Amino acid sequence: MTAPTTAWLAEQYHSGRMNLPTAHHHLLSETEHSSLATIFTTLTSNLPRLEKTTLITHIQSHLPRSLPPTFAETIYQILTYHTSAPFYKNPSPIPPSSLSLLDTQRGLAWLLPQNHLSMSETGNMGRMRTPADGRRLLFQSLATLSVPSPDSPSKEDARRGYARRNAFDAQHARKYLGIGEEEMEEMLRDWCKCNRDEDGDEMWHDLLDVLHACVPENYPYASRRESLRPLAKEIGGGVVFHEIAVEKRVLRGLVRGVLRLQFEVGEEEMDAGELETMDEQVESALATFICEDEELASAYPSSLDIIAWPAFDHALRHLPHLFDPVHRVLIKALLDSEPYNMHTSVKSLYGAPPELLRPKDTGTKPYVLSRSWMNLMPMIIPDVVDWESLHTVLRWNSSQDSNSDTTTSPTSDAIWTHVRARDLEQTEETPLAIILALEGHDQASGEPFKGGIVVGADYDGKAGRERLYNLYVFRLLPSVRFLELIDQRWEHRSGKELAFGDSATTSGFRFLVDDMAVDIDIPAFGRHQRIKVNSLEIWNDNGSS
């Protein structure tokens, strides 16, 4: 049997047999469809469309009173943009004035994490979508500017090279498929394809993905994705991906809102001055939105007031859970569900550490991870910390503490004991997470620094419950950085030194207790730094108070 012709594929599309409007239906469960239909009917009083003002008011009712209506409007903009996938429109600051039930279903189906991965046929005849496609959809949903830029072959080469790196970033599939290195290489070669070429850019390839996934079951023979290129070119839109951008003003409002939504706490427990302003934390997060490759940055719009795709993508690699509060609010407001039970990549909302909710003692030095700084933490680290049980087990500040008779810095042994938590009996059901946080300044530049490590404890049943450690290095100031040190050791090298990672592979994080300094040599953090420590604290979540 011969493969379907382009004419046959076009006829299937134009006759409606590809049924693109409902291609998303299977991405929501029957329970989700039922819940959404019930809420939609309630909000519309059985009318066919849901008005923008009604939905924004409904979203606002699921937000803290301290958040301005503009944040709910941004959530609405993000949702409504996804309702147009994969037929994207030109950027506009004015979202549609109403949504149908089908629109809302499609928006949630595309927006909820990981769902977009199923909007293509994965295999040697299709294209494997990667997490970068999801990050790109979020970027597109916030982009309200179209900024034409000068073009050249070298700039297009830079854009295609970056698209290719993202399109072949399929490590996420390995743990789900349970495959080895050789199988992974074969999968990358056969399943991954660059989604930017002579025929179209990344947004155009979304359309091609969905067309291929929707080829009717009555096709004469297996259809290859490439067979649908003529049809995709016929019906594709005119939006140019590398010319759209996000206003930094909009992004600043979004970041401030999601920072406020990291922990579930009552309004009476909030420090209004600390949590409503959070200027330093917001600006530190915004400083993460930067493209460090000058050649690549020049291939996209550039201005102090806008964020282009490479900068946005860079930030979301270091802030992987930035949009979790947006997803969480929509799941609660439109699906009437808790996120953890339905979409495990969206973390459940914890209460803030009780230690930070107690009335402030004016005689105590501020925490390194104060409430406002700790709000950044759930954005960057995996779900390995039980925040409600988190408490400090060691605190030190270089200046005289009014509650202490000494300014002597802690010894390496003291820090090591607390980080290892040797005296704690843990069970398999309650693994221990430890955070070592510190603040100080770069000795070369004087630049302030705030960061540390997260040690996630786990157990290996085959090795007699021998404790294993996963290491996560983070930085919160002057910008946010996050790195998981996979398969790397940490050890107490001497009486004065703790070493995290492997300095032989330039992923070192060396703590020198002798002069309370930290040597950081991690590529993801930029240049080598020596940080003079002013304060440090160690937290763990073993449930003690």
- Per-residue pLDDT, averaged over 137-166, amounts to 94
Choose between 170 and 108: higher pLDDT: 108
d(CA 273, CA 278): 8
Flag whether pLDDT at 426 surpasses 60: no
What type of residue sits at position 44?
A: T
Task: Answer whether 255's CB lies under 8 Å from 282's CB.
Answer: yes
Flag whether pLDDT at 67 surpasses 90: no
Residue 465 binned pLDDT confidence (cut-offs 50, 70, 90): very low
Q: Choose among 293, 286, 292, 326: nearest CA to 476.
A: 286
d(CA 132, CA 187): 17
> Quick check: bond before 86 cis, omega within 30?
yes
What SS3 class is residue 358? coil
Residue 155 binned pLDDT confidence (cut-offs 50, 70, 90): very high
Residue whose pair of structure tokens reads 């939504």 in the numeric block = 261
Residue 544: per-residue pLDDT: 39
Percentage of the chain lying above the pLDDT 90 cut: 46
Residue 429 binned pLDDT confidence (cut-offs 50, 70, 90): low
d(CA 71, CA 76): 9
Tokens of 350: 């914890």
Residue 464: per-residue pLDDT: 45
Flag whether pLDDT at 402 surpasses 50: no
Q: What is the mean pLDDT of the chain?
A: 84
d(CA 478, CA 450): 7
Report which DSSP code applies to 350.
Answer: P
Task: Answer whether 466's CB lies under 8 Å from 491's CB.
Answer: no
pLDDT one-digit tens code per residue, 205-256: 999 999 998 888 766 566 788 888 999 999 887 889 999 999 999 999 999 9
Phi–psi pair at 167, nearest 5 degrees? -70, -25
Task: Answer whether 143's CB lies under 8 Å from 244's CB.
Answer: yes
Flag whether pLDDT at 327 surpasses 90: yes
Phi–psi pair at 381, nearest 5 degrees? -110, 155
d(CA 513, CA 519): 11
Tokens of 137: 């959809």
- Give DSSP secondary structure letters for 499-516: EEEEGGGTEEEEEETTTT
Residue 406: per-residue pLDDT: 47
Residue 495: per-residue pLDDT: 80
Residue 11: per-residue pLDDT: 84
Residue 273 binned pLDDT confidence (cut-offs 50, 70, 90): low
Choose between 373 and 404: higher pLDDT: 373
- Per-residue pLDDT, averaged over 109-121, amounts to 88
Residue 430: per-residue pLDDT: 56
* 464 conformational bin, left if phi > 0, alpha if psi -120 to 50, beta if neither: left
Q: What burial class does residue 181 get, using C-beta atoms within 10 Å of its C-beta: 0-12 exposed, 13-18 middle, 19+ buried? A: exposed
Residue 458: per-residue pLDDT: 62
253-256 long-range contacts (CB < 8 A, ≥24 apart) are 253/68, 253/70, 253/71, 253/74, 254/71, 254/74, 254/142, 255/282, 255/285, 255/286, 255/322, 256/71, 256/282
The kind and range of the H/E element at 32 are: helix 30-44
Residue 364: per-residue pLDDT: 67
